[in-house]
Amino acid sequence: MQNEIKQAQRIVVKVGSSTLTYENSKLNLNRIDKLVRDISNLKNQDLDIIFVSSGAIAAGQGKLRLNKIDRSIPEKQALASIGQGLLMKTYQKLFSEYGYEAAQILLTQNDLNDRKRYLNSRNTINQLLKYNVVPIINENDTVAVKEIKFGDNDTLSALVSSLIDADLLIMLSDIDGLYTTDPRENQDAELISEVEDISTVESAAGGSGTERGTGGMATKIEAAKIATKAGIPMIIANGKQDKVLTKIIEGKEIGTTFLAEEGLPSRDKWIAFNMAVEGELIVDSGAVKALQESGSSLLACGIIETKGNFSAGDVVDVFDQSGTKIGRGLVNYAQREVEQIEGLQSDEIEEKLGYQAYDEVIHRDNLVLSI
């Protein structure tokens, strides 16, 4: 694994709010400078670095010298608009001192849900890398209400890694890695150096790490699921450690490494990770066998039940009768239509609906298994 890490060419680096700011939410300029210097050192080795940075809301709060209290969505949006500008001004100044330009990219989940906007985002990042510019990515917290309430940059960094076919995702936190239990509460907690099967360590994840961040170890585990299924290894390391990025790329064993699975094709990654799931299909054992063993499309005859209120072109999850998820795909028919044709043979669809747009409910090319 260390050889693969040393050979990584395209690397996504994510850093959390607690690493970038002090307890009073003001920017920790000394640590940011060291981080920028570390990234610039990797750039000097002709590596592509994509930087996912949290901290906009915390920085805005620190700038206005506001106390740490629960705030409304409009307040958080306003603070993000102040803090994001402050962050970028700081990043651009420091990167320029080390000979590099930095560019801001603000994304929402909708940018990755829509196939055209997904590809446009990918093309923009790739072009910036060709210009040897450091893309600095954050959620667009000033407009994305749902992202502020439920989202986090851990997930975003994994989605960005999948988007641009990264070789490695490094997640810098205020903790050394994943432990067997929370080391803040249990002095006997042990660092887990390598994870092959994520399901074996999910119980070790807790809640949000600090008041200044939205994520915790639980969100990092979810991010690891996305990255590793996309064929990208992920490392959690302590962002306070001096030259931590350089040490990782040199092959030193630092933090917790999540081993990658076999990667998915680009379109499959978009379907699997970026689109909102609008419903469910329950299928019989014959359909499960055909999907898993024969690589077949999902036909109406194998569907037992539908859940949700989805439209044609939406993403749905596919489950067997025991409740095990089989996969995820784009449906050719709306929920009300599937409900009418479930259990029917393909040549019976037109008689039932009065038309037949497709033979398949989900075509094999639009179906991703084992998600």
Contact, 95 vs 88, CB < 8 A? Answer: no
The per-residue pLDDT for range 128-137, each reduced to its tens digit, is 999 999 999 9
pLDDT-derived band at 4, boundaries 50, 70, 90: confident
Intra-chain end-to-end CA distance of the chain, in Å: 24
Question: What would the DSSP string read from start to end of 1-15?
Answer: -HHHHHT--EEEEEE
Q: In the block, which residue shows the tokens 């050719």?
A: 332
Collapsed DSSP state (helix, strand, coil) of residue 238: strand
How are the residues of the chain apportioned to helix, strand and coil, as percentages rounded to the nearest 5? Answer: 45, 20, 35
The pLDDT, as a whole number, for residue 136 is: 98
Position 12 scores a pLDDT of 98
The pLDDT of residue 2 is above 80? no
Per-residue pLDDT tens over the stretch 81-98: 999 999 999 999 999 999
Which residues does the annotation place in the binding site? Answer: 14, 54, 141, 153, 173-174, 214-220
**Pairwise pLDDT comparison (225 vs 152), residue with the higher score:** 225
pLDDT at 243: 95
Q: Is the pTM of this model over 0.75?
A: yes
Look at 181 and 32; give whichever has higher pLDDT.
Answer: 32
Q: CATH for 276-369, among 2.40.10.120, 2.30.130.10, 3.40.50.1000, 2.60.40.10? A: 2.30.130.10
DSSP annotation of 354: S
Q: Are 119 and 111 in contact (CB under 8 A)?
A: no
Per CATH, 2-268 and 276-369 having the same topology is answered: no
Domain residue extents for the chain = 2-268, 276-369
Output the pLDDT for position 242. 93
Q: Which of 271, 275, 334, 282 is nearest to 306 (CA)?
A: 282
Please tell me the predicted confidence (pLDDT) of residue 249: 95
Cα separation of 257 and 191, whole Å? 11
At residue 71, the pLDDT reads 79
Burial class (CB in 10 A: 0-12, 13-18, 19+), 99: exposed
Which fold does the domain 2-268 belong to in CATH?
Carbamate kinase (3.40.1160)
Q: Which residues are annotated as part of the binding site for ATP?
A: 14, 173-174, 214-220
> Across the chain, what does the average pLDDT equal?
90
Mean of pLDDT values over 157-171: 96
Cα–Cα dist 248/240, whole Å: 14
* pLDDT tens digits, one per residue of 243-283: 999 999 999 999 999 999 888 888 899 999 988 899 999 99
Query: Binding site residues for substrate, as ranges?
Result: 54, 141, 153
